[in-house]
Amino acid sequence: MARPIWKGNISFGLVNIPITLFTAENKQELHFKLLDRRTRSEVRYERVSEATGQQVPLEEIVRGYRYEGGDYILLTDEDFKKAAVEATQTIEISDFVDLKAIEYTYFEKPYYVVPDKRAEKGYVLLREVLRRTGKVAISKVVIRTRQYLAALIPQGDALVLEILRYYRELREQSEFHFPAGSLEEYKVSERELQVAQMLVESMTGEWDPMQYHDEYHDALMQWIEQKARAGGAVSPAGERAEGRERGKVVDMMELLKQSVEQAAARRGRARDESGEEPGQSSAGGAA
């Protein structure tokens, strides 16, 4: 069962909706220990005082902000709460905007918003008005020691609180070089665009997140298990295929045509395996 990370209220005009936030992420990360190669013993990081060289007990460690002159201002959990008591407990909606108006680079991390039993009516009201109007609710929320910009977004029966990046947290595109000239300048022909569009259409299917998984994670786990079965002495797997030589002239049209043919062949095999007729759509048909 997921553990709640925040409890408070959504402020929607005069409507107050008590809710609990749960992280929507379920990361499947591999965790590794740092070891001494000679003894295979764990290498630990110790909390050592610069002044005494001695280890500092966890209960004696506090957060400090380096102020003018180099002095530190010590802060406790209560200090963070006192800075903005209302803000730490309320998600106050300030604006409603079109979801499509928010560039995807602003989206950072999702949370599920779960209402208290007594607040379900207000929750459903907010969820449905967002769905009907095609809007998302922009708000701010303080989680732990930081205030975040966020968007409340309806998804199925749920409201999702998507943490957004602030404008200042994103680099300006002007810092980078992007090809901005005409198609002619980059020698992209109309025929190449048409064939590329055929490739996109041949690879288009229904969005099915279940079909995508972390292949690197799976391969690494398989390699770890293989090493374990062999007592840790396993020869490296076959060499990876070398990429195309850099600087080699590429026939874009030929590559596109080959890609279309390969995509069509994959779709045909997928239909044969699933037993579907050619006119039927398949959620797993995207290449």
Helix axes 190-202, 252-274, angle to 10 degrees: 20
Which of 120, 142, 169 is the endpoint of a domain?
169
The token pair at 179 is 């090809």
Residues 119 and 96 in one domain: yes
Is 214 inside any structural domain?
Answer: no
Q: What is the pLDDT of residue 148?
A: 92
165 with 188, same domain? no
Task: Using the predicted structure, report yes or no on whether residue 108 has a pLDDT greater than 90.
Answer: yes
150 and 14 within one domain? yes
Q: What is the DSSP letter of 152?
A: E
Could you tell me if 189 and 271 lie in one domain?
yes
CA angle 225, 226, 229 (to 5 degrees): 85
Domain finish residue from 121, 141, 169:
169
Same domain, 94 and 190: no
Instruction: Kindly tell me if the per-residue pLDDT of 275 is higher than 70.
Output: no
Q: Identify the pLDDT of residue 285.
A: 39
Q: What's the whole-number average pLDDT of the chain?
A: 81
- Is residue 65 in a domain? no
Q: Among residues 153, 148, 139, 150, which one has the least CA distance to residue 95?
A: 139
Q: Give the pLDDT confidence score for residue 128 in this predicted structure.
A: 95
Q: Which of 144, 169, 194 corresponds to the end of one domain?
A: 169
Find which of 33-47, 127-141, 192-206 is predicted with most confidence, using mean pLDDT: 127-141
Give the pLDDT confidence score for residue 239 in this predicted structure.
43
- Among 5-19, 42-56, 171-185, 209-223, name the one with the lowest average pLDDT: 209-223
Q: What is the pLDDT of residue 109?
A: 93
- Give me the CATH number covering residue 115: 2.40.290.10
- For residue 234, the model assigns a pLDDT of 42
Looking at residue 238, what is its pLDDT? Answer: 46
* Cβ density class 184-213: b for 16+ within 10 Å, e for less: eeeeeeeeeeebbebbeebbebeeeeeeee
Is there a domain that residue 99 lies in?
yes
Distance separating alpha carbons of residues 13 and 192, to the nearest angstrom: 53
> Does residue 245 sit within a domain?
no
Residues 137 and 266 in one domain: no
**246: pLDDT confidence band, cut at 50, 70 and 90?**
low
* 8 Å CB contact between 147 and 104: no
Do residues 140 and 11 both lie within one domain? yes
Q: Which residue did the predictor score with more confidence, 110 or 226?
A: 110
Mean pLDDT of 75-93: 75
> Residue 219 in contact with residue 225, Cβ under 8 Å?
no
Residue predicted with more confidence, 57 or 27: 57
- DSSP lists the bridge partners of residue 148 as 141
**Same domain, yes or no, for 16 and 102?**
yes
Statement to judge: residues 187 and 258 lie in one domain: yes
Average pLDDT over residues 125-148: 91
Is the pLDDT reported for residue 280 higher than 70? no
pLDDT at position 125: 93
Report which DSSP code applies to 210.
G
Q: What are 31's two structure tokens?
A: 């965790």
Q: Do residues 21 and 92 both lie within one domain? A: yes
Tell me the residue range of the domain where 192 lies.
183-205+251-278
For residues 189 and 272, membership in a common domain is answered with yes
Provide the number of structural domains found in the chain: 2
Averaged pLDDT for residues 120-127: 93
Q: Tens digits of per-residue pLDDT, 185-218?
A: 989 899 999 998 998 888 888 888 888 777 877 8
